[in-house]
Structures are given as C-alpha cells and as structure tokens.
DNA sequence: TACCCGCCCATCCGATTGGATAGGTCTGGC
DNA sequence: GCCAGACCTATCCAATCGGATGGGCGGGTA
C-alpha cells in the first residue's frame, strides 16, 4: 500500500513516516508542501491515499484539496490538521475528502484510519465531529444579515461610512442605517467597539 | 538518558516517542498536558531533559515554563512548538529554557538537539532565531510616549475622548491632542484603525 | 541661557458619527 | 392578499471626532 504524506513540519513528517512504515506493509512518500504533493500525484505512481496537512505552504485552505480532487485520476485524499475546526472537517468531507485526521489522534488509530480510508471508506473521529458547534459560532454573528456583515467588515478595516458606501456601491445613509442596527445587535455604542468585537469573534 | 515529552497532540507525541526511542539510549516518558508534566517532574525520577509543547492545555504560554524552572531541583526544560514566534523563543531562552525546538526541525536534528541540550548547552536553530524581526517588532509602539500609550489603551477599549479624559483625570482637549499625535506616529486616520493596529501589535 | 520635548489646556472649524423618523421595493411565508 | 423582514434612501439634529493654532509649564541638554 502506498501513502503520500504532505506536511511542512519536518519533525512531524519524519516521525510520522517512521512510525507508519514500521507497521510493515505501508510505503510512505513524504513531501513538505502542497506543490510537491501535487506534482507527485500527477506524475508519480498511484497512491492508495494522500494525507495533506491543512496548514502548509501553497495549500490555501481547502483549495489544495479541491485541486487534487479535480484531477482525472484523483487519488483518495484526507486532511490532517492540528487545529482545524469541525467546520473545516465537514467542508472537506463534503467536498469529497476521504477523511479528516486531527493530530490529537493516537498513532495506532491513525494506522487504522489510513487502512480504513484506503479501503474506500470515509473517516472522521466521532468525538471530533460531534464536538459543540464550535463556541456558539459567536452568537452575534449569525444574527447579522448579509449586508450588515459586509458593513461590519468595513468597520474592521477602519473605514468611514462614506468609504464603505463606495465599496458596496450604496448611498451613505444606507450604511449609517446598517451600522446603527448592527450596533444594537452586537450591543456596542461605536464603530471601534464593533470592530474589536468582530475581530475578537475571529471574523474577517 | 531520560526525556519527558509533553504534547497534547497524541499523534505527534506517539510518533515522536517512537522515533526518539528508536535511537537506542534515550528513554522517553510522554504526557498530554502541562499538569501531568509538572506532576511527573515533582514526584518522579530526574529527567535529563523536558520538552514542553508551547501550546497545550494548562501551559499558559510561558507560565508553565517558569513554574518548572522555579522548582527546587528544576530539570533542563526546552520548548517545542509548531508556530511560536521568535519573540517567544527568545523570551523562553532568556527565562532559562534549555532550548527551543520548532516542529519544522528535521527529526534527526531533534535527536542531536536533545543530546546537546541534555549536556547542558542551550539550543535554538540559527535560521529560526535570525528570522526577520517579525513584523518589525512593532516599530510603532516604542515610538509612543507614556501618555500616548495610555490614550491608545483607551482607544482599544472603544472609549470616547471624554471617557479617556475621565479615566486619566485630564481635560478632553488634551486627550484629543494625544490622539492626534498618536495617529501620526502609527500612521492611521481614525480611532478604529488605531485600536486595530494596537491589537494587532499585541498591546493591551 | 536657549532650545527641545513631553505634557497640559483652550478655542475654532469642518467632517463624521450616532440616533431618530419616515418612506420605499422586494421576497417569502401564512 | 397580508405581513414580516431584508434592503435601500432620505432628512434632521446633537454629539463626537479629526485637525489646526496658540499658549504654558517643567526637565533635560547643548
């Protein structure tokens, strides 16, 4: 069985390779960034499974995953990550990933997961997937409408109402309205607080 | 030689342990969070070296490091991290850490580093430590006077000039003055941008 | 001593903001 | 059809902000 592992942390990669190969029947190729992985997949022999680190050079979030899955003879691809959210995992599985492997997984479980995924199954650790919907996704955020979010994004850039209006091709009074209603929803009194709350919530 | 490894990523920990132990003369104990590590150090046999993941439960940044170094028979302690900044590494070494190991290090280099540190030397990868001063170390901040920093702190709380004035027991015009000069120094046009820059710089 | 700099206060002005109120369109659900 | 809600625009007003100018005080330095 042939496995391709792409992770930019040499230490993680090296030890992972050593561990996986020690199980006997798994051959591992390892590369340090997405471009190398992409090249190997296109030109090299077929892999039974590809493990991509979610955060590594050239990966661009889920874009790398999509690029591989769009190939003609796309191999089975799974993501591996130390800190990705459940949302990312879900999106990846949705997009057709063979699985999602958090780095908090026990090493032996990884071996099992690899075999499982190579057999054509989709894998994701149950406890990880059933985790709370992430910190209520920031209760504030999903209370805002599309427009209000766009306006809030402008605020987090320190833009004036006028600038935001230009950017969204709207009249300034409209922006003022959105700004005001937005303040009420997230319970702040001025744009600076709004911007900070948005940043705090990890938005933008 | 005895090594204690603390990392909350099971996968990383397991494979690391397997790799290090495969070198023959290093015994590795592994735990998943700071508290367990602390306990082992206090009660168990002496370790030649302790490797702490910078980001793991109960670690609290460098606080965990300090707590161990403050012990009576403190062992040699090194940090290991996937994404810590050079500043953190410097602070750790300054505080008396035996070394700093980025996870981008090659596995064999880690073995060498471990032996090196266990021998009493301080280790840090040169390329990592000579990396660009991070975003210019925040050139802005130390250009500001004491007062301006206090005012900036008010801005990061979304306070109005009047509120800041009350807080510092000054007249409002004075605050406006500080605000204005502060804008020039950090090159922004309004309070929201100033607050965001300050947050970005890790202030307050 | 003269000078710079941090620090404080004041006044004046135009622009922006925060807030209220009022009106309009359009879409989707009851 | 009716209603609610998202969305757009407008006008009016008080408060705040951003900026400029001018003046004063004390400490450190040339």
Name the packing angle between helices B10-21 and A10-21 (round to 10°): 70
A160 CB closer than 7 A to any strand D atom: no
The pLDDT score that the predictor gives to residue A130 is 60
Distance CA B47, CA B154 (A): 47
Distance from residue A202's CA to nucleotide D6's C1', rounded to whole Å: 25
Within 8 A of A160 by CB-CB distance, chain B residues are 190
Distance CA B105, CA B107 (A): 6
Q: Dihedral of the CA atoms A110, A7, A35, A46 (nearest 10)?
A: -30
- Closest CA in chain B for residue A32: B104
* A15 sits in which H/E element: helix A10-21
Please, which residues have CB within 8 angstroms of residue B78's CB and are 6 or more apart in sequence?
A: B49, B50, B51, B52, B97, B98, B99, B100, B101, B113, B117, B123
**Mean pLDDT in residue range A58-65:** 86
Whose tokens are 């012990």? That residue is B71
Query: What is the torsional sign of CA A75, A80, A86, A88?
Result: negative
- DSSP H helices in chain B: 10-21, 34-43, 63-69, 86-94, 107-118, 126-129, 146-155, 161-168, 172-186, 191-200
The per-residue pLDDT for range B7-20, each reduced to its tens digit, is 999 999 999 999 99
Instruction: Work out the percent of chain B whose per-residue pLDDT is above 70.
Output: 92
The per-residue pLDDT for range A141-167, each reduced to its tens digit, is 667 888 888 888 889 999 999 988 998
Distance CA A150, CA A175 (A): 10
Does residue A17 surpass a pLDDT of 80?
yes
Distance from residue B188's CA to nucleotide C3's C1', rounded to whole Å: 30
User: Domain limits of chain B?
Assistant: 2-129, 141-200
The pLDDT score that the predictor gives to residue B185 is 87
Tell me how close the Cα of A12 comes to any Cα of chain B, in angstroms: 6
Q: Contact A18/B16, CB-based, under 8 Å?
A: no
Decide if A183 contacts A189 (C-beta within 8 A).
Answer: yes
Q: Contact B160/A190, CB-based, under 8 Å?
A: yes
**Res. A136 pLDDT band, cuts 50 70 90:** very low
Distance from residue A185's CA to nucleotide D6's C1', rounded to whole Å: 15
A2-129 CATH pick, 3.30.360.10, 3.40.50.2300, 1.10.3720.10, 3.40.50.970? 3.40.50.2300
Q: Contact A12/B15, CB-based, under 8 Å?
A: yes
**Mean pLDDT in residue range A128-137:** 52
Does residue A68 surpass a pLDDT of 70?
yes
Secondary structure tally for chain A: helices H, strands E: 10, 5
- Closest CA in chain A for residue B81: A9
Which 3 state secondary structure label does DSSP give A162? Answer: helix
Q: Which of A14, A108, A188 sits opposite B158 (nearest CB)?
A: A188
Distance CA B122, CA B147 (A): 39
Q: Contact B19/A22, CB-based, under 8 Å?
A: no
Instruction: Flag residues 105-144 of B with CB < 7 Å from strand C.
Output: none
* A65 sits in which H/E element: helix A63-69
Nearest nucleotide to B192 (CA to C1') is D17
Does residue A18 surpass a pLDDT of 80?
yes
**A174: its two tokens:** 């409209």
Distance CA B15, CA B9 (A): 10
**Mean pLDDT in residue range A93-108:** 88
- DSSP H helices in A85-187: 86-94, 107-118, 126-129, 146-155, 161-168, 172-186
The per-residue pLDDT for range A70-98, each reduced to its tens digit, is 998 899 999 998 877 777 888 888 888 99
B127-B133-B134 Cα angle (round to 5): 95
The pLDDT score that the predictor gives to residue A135 is 42
Whose tokens are 């051959």? That residue is A27
The pLDDT score that the predictor gives to residue B137 is 42
What's the CATH architecture for A141-200? Orthogonal Bundle (1.10)
Residue numbers of chain B with a pLDDT score lower than 50: 133-138
Within 8 A of B156 by CB-CB distance, chain A residues are 196
Q: Contact A106/B9, CB-based, under 8 Å?
A: no
Please, which residues have CB within 8 angstroms of residue B114's CB and are 6 or more apart in sequence?
A: B3, B20, B26, B49, B51
**Mean pLDDT in residue range A50-73:** 89
The pLDDT score that the predictor gives to residue A5 is 95
A170 CB closer than 7 A to any strand D atom: yes
Which 3 state secondary structure label does DSSP give A88? Answer: helix
Tell me how close the Cα of A72 comes to any Cα of chain B, in angstroms: 32
Decide if B29 contacts B53 (C-beta within 8 A).
Answer: no
Distance from residue B91's CA to nucleotide D30's C1', rounded to whole Å: 39
* B29 sits in which H/E element: strand B27-31
**Mean pLDDT in residue range A169-186:** 89
Within 8 A of A188 by CB-CB distance, chain B residues are 158
Distance CA B138, CA B130 (A): 17
B34 backbone dihedrals φ, ψ, rounded to 5°: -65, -45
């Amino acid at each position: 069985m042939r496995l391709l592992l792409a992770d930019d942390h040499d230490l993680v990669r090296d030890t992972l390779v050593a561990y996986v190969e020690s199980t006997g029947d798994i051959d591992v190729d390892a590369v340090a960034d997405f471009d190398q992985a992409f090249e190997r997949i296109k030109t090299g022999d077929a892999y039974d499974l590809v493990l991509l680190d979610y955060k590594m050079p050239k990966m661009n979030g889920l874009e790398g995953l999509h690029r591989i899955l769009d190939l003609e003879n796309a191999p089975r691809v799974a993501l591996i990550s130390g800190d990705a959210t459940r949302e990312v995992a879900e999106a990846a599985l949705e997009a057709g990933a063979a699985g999602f492997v958090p780095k908090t997984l026990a090493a032996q479980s990884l071996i099992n997961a690899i075999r499982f995924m190579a057999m054509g199954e989709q894998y994701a650790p149950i406890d990880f997937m059933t985790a709370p919907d992430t910190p209520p996704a920031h209760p504030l955020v999903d209370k805002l409408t599309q427009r209000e979010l766009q306006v809030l994004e402008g605020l987090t850039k320190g833009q004036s109402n006028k600038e935001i209006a230009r950017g969204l091709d709207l009249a300034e009074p409209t922006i003022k309205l959105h700004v005001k209603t937005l303040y009420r929803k997230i319970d702040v009194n001025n744009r600076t607080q709004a911007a900070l709350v948005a940043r705090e919530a990890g938005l933008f």
